[in-house]
Chain A
Amino acid sequence: MEAEAKRVLIAPAAVAVFLATDWLWVGVDFSLIALTCGATAALVLSPESRQSPWPWPDLWVIAFAASLVLSILLSGHARLSLLLSSPFIPALLIYLLLSRFVSGPRGIRLVLAGLSIGALCIAASVLLDASLQPGDPAGSIGTLAIPLLVVPNDILSRQGMVGALPVAAVLGWGVKRAYQTARRADHPERLFAAGLLGAFAAFSLASFVELTFVRYWVAIMVATLIGLTAALEQPSPPIAGV
């Protein structure tokens, strides 16, 4: 039983390592290599937590993937569109790992720890860079090349309502399920659900200003939020030593 309890942590650990290190660029894509190796280990060793076929987010994820493929095929620059759509590959892997192999508070805490470490490292690097270039915030941001306002919304806008509808639907599903879970007094992970609800709200508000799937982290965040919401619905795994 203890071994099984450890095996269910493989998938969340893989996602956590990816989220904590994806800002690092050391010549090789270390984070994606770690995610792929962890996913392979989870595929071989971990039990699949989700048994219910065709949950709603799956349908909308499939619909969005279909619209993405259609968009790439119909694009006048299919090769460029394909390259710019590459963030969806790790995003899909993260969604599958979270929704199929993660359950219970320990796994969710691991993923949240990975997110927190990644966010802290990014914030620290921004502050460090700003301290090295005092008095010139524009120059500092330019050095870091954070593309806050310079990325065209080409992927989603090109797909129009066909692409936007599945995204809106899957986000709507996530908000609804997180709200319902947060409202359940008997749910052991309702605090996580409340946190997810806040994250969905922040993400949706940010989308009014500037969000685009060309950005790696936007696709990763959508997949992480939806995957964590799906993971909250899974029954908790056995506790080690019990």
Chain B
Amino acid sequence: MSTRPSGGRLATLLAIIASVIMLVIAPQAKLALAANGYSQGYWSVYYCYDCLPSRGGWRALQK
């Protein structure tokens, strides 16, 4: 096995920074999704009933 580091620490640091940014912008992001017809559902799923094919397919996203 090689003894070289795999860069995991740097990648993890970048992912932590991304998570912190996500935590900071999450409230605004949820508002933006809600404004586009998306609702927050179970286990943090965003879903869009208007996007169902029976309700006009993906045209809701064209708004």
Contact = CB atoms under 8 A, between A and B. Distances in A.
Interface of A: 22-23, 25, 29, 32-33, 35-36, 39-40, 42-43, 48, 50-55, 58, 76-77, 79-80, 83-84, 86-87, 89-90, 92-93, 96-97, 99-101, 122, 144-147, 150-152, 154, 214-217
Interface of B: 1-9, 11-13, 15-16, 18-20, 22-23, 26, 29, 32-33, 36, 38-39, 41-49, 51-52, 58, 61-62
Contacts of B41: 144-147
A39 B43 CA distance: 21
A39 to B, nearest CB: 5
Contacts of A79: 32
Contacts of A145: 39, 41-42, 47
24 contacts: A32-B23, A36-B23, A42-B12, A50-B8, A51-B4, A51-B6, A76-B62, A80-B32, A83-B33, A84-B33, A84-B38, A89-B22, A93-B19, A96-B12, A100-B11, A101-B12, A122-B43, A145-B47, A146-B41, A150-B51, A150-B52, A151-B45, A151-B47, A217-B43
Contact of A53 (B2, B23, B46, B58): B2
A89 B19 contact: yes
B45 to A, nearest CB: 5
B22 A86 contact: yes
Contacts of A100: 6, 8-9, 11-12
Nearest to B61: A77
Given A51-B1, A83-B29, A150-B52, A97 B12 contact: yes
B39 A214 contact: no
A81 B36 CA distance: 12
Contacts of A151: 45, 47-48, 51
A48 B45 contact: no
Contact of A152 (B9, B15, B58): B58
Given A80-B32, A86-B29, A150-B51, 15 more contacts: A39-B12, A48-B8, A51-B2, A51-B3, A53-B5, A77-B61, A79-B32, A84-B38, A84-B46, A86-B26, A101-B8, A122-B43, A146-B42, A150-B48, A152-B52
A214 B45 contact: yes
Contacts of B26: 29, 86
A100 B29 CA distance: 30
